[in-house]
Structure 1
Amino acid sequence: MGLGLKGACEGIARNPDVSGKVTGTMILAFAFIESLAIYALVVSFILLFANPFVGVGA
């Protein structure tokens, strides 16, 4: 996320006219990154507390 923010700041510094478009794209990309982290957290909780592999083949 830091590299994305760095790239957005550099792009806005080079061409301030596109700041709205760059900011919107950056926020959308951050939302996708955060949703991926939340999905990974949910899957890890499912595997931790409702492990479907416990008791299989025993």
Structure 2
Amino acid sequence: MQRPTEHAAIRAAGQSAQALPPMDVLFDRLVHAYAVHDRAGLCLYGHMVVRLAGPSSAA
């Protein structure tokens, strides 16, 4: 069952200009979310990993 705040949290994380945690921390959280079958966590940390790995400035 999805909660309405999950989409809001994912959307906010994708739009925030905050500094992201180091890659190893994000991967640890991603692995934990996978282990506990947390789909929202997988999306959230997956998007954060992609953001961190992507280009540092938007064109």
TM-score (norm 2): 0.36
TM-score (norm 1): 0.36
Higher Cα radius of gyration: 1
